Amino acid sequence: MSESLLGRISDTRESSKLQARKEVERLAKAEARKIAETGQTFEYILGVWKKRHHGDEPLGKALLFSMGSQSVSNSLGIHVAATGDGGYGKSDGIKKMGKLVYPDFWKNGGFTPQTLYYSGPDMLDGVIIGLEDIEWNSDLGVSVKRITTDFQEGALRVSTIDMKGVEVRTAKRIAFWASCVDSQADEQIRDRFIMYNVKSDSERRKQILGHMKARDEGDQDPEEDDFETMVCQTLTYDLKKKLFNVKIPFATRIKFDGDPRAYGMFSDMIRASAAFSYEKREKDDAGRLIATVEDFENAKSLYVEIGGHDRDKYTDSELKVLNAIVGNGGEATQADIQKGCNSLSSGRVSDILNGRGKQGHGLLYKCKDIIVDDSKRPIRYKLRSVNPKGNISIELGEPT
């Protein structure tokens, strides 16, 4: 067979593939339009994500609320930090959701403080940035804190280029999806991040292994997987092109047990829910999108699942350390703590107590009830009381 004929056959095959691909894209866009019109964008994307990442449904919801807040002009922004032991899904959950975002709006890893600012003109507003194993007190962590403060406008930085002062600004409404071993951020970071702690017990280990084995056996058709990805990316692209001012007409009826910062996060979750269902929400005379009781219930569901939003909320690992001190009579050395937390190494206990990175903000910084007695060696940690967050109370009162 001549080379020219082989070439034509190859071109025909490639043309057929291209036509087939275009047809799949057309069908995906049609499906996405149908989903958006029925107000099911949130539920559809979450459902696809749950097929690909086993468990951690609150994490999936948190990531979507974060994305939704980027389409709200009167939101302070919602970001997500997944904490916990390595190998139990915190990074996987973020990456699997990232693949469902339209590619231009998903940037994962490899960032420095400089690239966050100097890439501003090349980044689209509403971009989502994935950060793996971040240390909050590194230069990058400090930059993230500054950027989250200026969520709507983008953060400004003055630099010197060719002996001249130059202003550089990040993209607007950046959302950060971060993974880290422990929640060792300072108060300002914890105010705007939904903290989710992945489980690492034996039952969770069995569930992950079962999910991995089912995936290896091919539990989902690749073509179906590809189609669902296209639908999700089309839905996220549609949402990224929208920006709503969201009104909560029942705000005065919300009975909320928490501090003002926690309420600010909760109300932004309501706004994000409304943005996802914009096709099913009415607008007032000023053009504002009107949130409904359904949006309140969506936000409440996640808020309760994550145990509320409080800057002093403890992770599972931090609670283990606190309980080890309690179990030792309210006073313990680091060796005593490790003995009481037999699943944690000496280095991990030290990281939890003191924090990682320079000037780490560990449990000693976060928990005001720990007293460090360094008058003798080894150092002793005394605990006055343990008051982890209890029941979460959010209700919607009757109209007056």
CATH number for the domain harbouring residue 368: 1.10.10
Within a domain: residue 392? no
Pairing of strands 128-131, 289-290: unpaired
* Boundary residue ending a domain (186, 213, 240): 240
pLDDT tens sequence across 169-178 = 899 999 999 9
Average pLDDT over residues 36-46: 97
Q: Pull the structure tokens for residue 385.
A: 């009381």
In this structure, are 106 and 224 located in the same domain?
yes
On the question of pLDDT at 168 being above 70, the answer is yes
Average pLDDT over residues 64-85: 94
Write the Ramachandran bin of 173: left for phi over 0, alpha for psi from -120 to 50, otherwise beta: left
In this structure, are 27 and 145 located in the same domain?
yes
> Contact, 275 vs 242, CB < 8 A?
yes
Number of domains in the chain: 2
The residues, any chain, with a CB within 8 Å of residue 96's CB and separated by 6 or more, are 49, 52, 53
User: What DSSP letter does each residue of 262-323 carry, written as one string?
Assistant: HHHHHHHHHHHHHHHTGGG--B-TT--EE--HHHHHHHHHHHHHTT---TTPPPHHHHHHHH
On the question of pLDDT at 11 being above 90, the answer is no
Within a domain: residue 228? yes
In this structure, are 46 and 172 located in the same domain?
yes
In this structure, are 234 and 369 located in the same domain?
no
**How far apart are the C-alpha atoms of 108 and 116, rounded to whole Å?**
12
Average pLDDT over residues 114-141: 84
Within a domain: residue 298? no
In this structure, are 192 and 57 located in the same domain?
yes
pLDDT band at 136 (very low <50, low <70, confident <90, very high): confident
Within a domain: residue 225? yes
In this structure, are 321 and 226 located in the same domain?
no
Within a domain: residue 301? no
Between 22 and 255, residue with greater pLDDT = 255
Within a domain: residue 67? yes
State the pLDDT at residue 287.
96
Q: Residue 166 forms beta bridges with which residues?
A: 159
Average pLDDT over residues 135-140: 79
Domain with 358, as residue range(s), is 316-383
> Contact, 276 vs 41, CB < 8 A?
yes
On the question of pLDDT at 52 being above 70, the answer is yes
Within a domain: residue 275? no
State the pLDDT at residue 9.
46
Q: Average pLDDT of the chain?
A: 84
State the pLDDT at residue 34.
96
Average pLDDT over residues 338-351: 81
Within a domain: residue 335? yes
In this structure, are 71 and 175 located in the same domain?
yes
Least confident of 8-12, 115-119, 211-215: 8-12
State the pLDDT at residue 76.
95
pLDDT band at 389 (very low <50, low <70, confident <90, very high): very low
* CATH value at residue 191: 3.40.50.300
In this structure, are 61 and 203 located in the same domain?
yes
State the pLDDT at residue 265.
92
In this structure, are 323 and 234 located in the same domain?
no
Between 187 and 241, residue with greater pLDDT = 241
Pairing of strands 370-373, 380-383: antiparallel
* Boundary residue ending a domain (207, 240, 273): 240
Residue 63: burial class (beta carbons within 10 Å; 0-12, 13-18, 19+): buried
In this structure, are 164 and 27 located in the same domain?
yes
In this structure, are 236 and 361 located in the same domain?
no
State whether residue 350 is helix, strand or coil. Answer: helix
pLDDT band at 120 (very low <50, low <70, confident <90, very high): low
In this structure, are 85 and 181 located in the same domain?
yes
* Boundary residue ending a domain (240, 257, 281): 240
> Contact, 45 vs 102, CB < 8 A?
no
The residues, any chain, with a CB within 8 Å of residue 112's CB and separated by 6 or more, are 139, 140
State the pLDDT at residue 88.
67
